[in-house]
Amino acid sequence: VAWPSSVTGILSHFAIAKFDIDTVKLGCIMGYDPVLNYSFRVLVVLTFFWLLFTVHGVRLLFQGKGLKQEWSALVGACGACTAALFVSICMAALSPFQCQTHPNGAWTMIGYEAERCWDGDLGSVQESMIGIAVAAMLFVFAFLSGMTWLVVTYPKQIKKGNVQFLNATAFLFSRFKPEGRGVALAILIRGLLMALIPAIPDIMTQLF
C-alpha cells in the first residue's frame, strides 16, 4: 500500500536523520557508487567532530588561550553530539546487514536494493561495506565503553570535586539524579538494540 504524498513528504525529511545522503541527490552531480555512498554516511559524524574542533580552536585562538584550555567544553560538545546521533550512527553502521528477501528467494540490501546480500562473491558491494561497518561499530563500542567508565567513575570524581569532569559529562548526567546515572547508559544501550532490530532477518524474532 502506497503512503499518501503528505506522509511520504514528511518521511523524506526525516531521511537525513539516518545520514541518507541520497536526499541531497549527489548522484545527479557524480556517478552513484553504493560503497562511497555508505562511506559518506558513516563519516558524517567525523565531520561533526571536525567542525567542533575547528570552532573550538578558533574561539580559543581569538581569546588568546591555549588549545588545551577549556577541554571540558570540547569533550562535552563531542559527547553530546555523539549521544544525540547515537541511534542514527548505529543504524547507518549496521545498514549493510539489513537485508530483505524476494519471491525468487534472493536477498538484497534494504538501503541499496540493487545489491545482493550474502551471495558469497569476493569483493562484493556488501562485503566492502561490512569492512567499513566493522570499523564504525568499533567506534560505537568504544563510545559505549567510555560512557560506562564515566558512569563507574562518577562517584569518585564527585568526591574529588572535579569541576571539569562535571562540565565535560553534563550531557550524560545532567538529566538524572546521581543515583540514577546508570539510566543514561541504559538509554544508549537501548538505542544500539533498536538499531540492531532491522538487521534481524526473521520478523518474529524482531517482535520479541
Residue 14 pLDDT exceeds 60: no
For the chain, give the longest Cα–Cα distance.
66
If one compares 23 and 99, the residue with the highest pLDDT of the two is 99
Domain that holds residue 82: 5-99+134-203
In whole angstroms, give the CA distance from residue 42 to residue 133: 8
> Is residue 159 domain-resident?
yes
Residue 172 burial (10 A CB sphere; 0-12, 13-18, 19+): buried
pTM of the model: 0.73
> Is residue 190 domain-resident?
yes
> Is residue 17 domain-resident?
yes
Number of domains in the chain: 1
> Is residue 181 domain-resident?
yes
Residue 122 pLDDT exceeds 70: no
Residue range 46-91, pLDDT digits in tens: 787 888 878 877 877 777 766 566 778 888 888 888 888 888 888 8
Residue range 123-142, pLDDT digits in tens: 678 888 888 889 889 999 99
> Is residue 128 domain-resident?
no
| 50 to 41, 102, 130, 156: CA distances (angstroms) | 15, 41, 24, 31
* Residue carrying C-alpha cell 567499513: 132
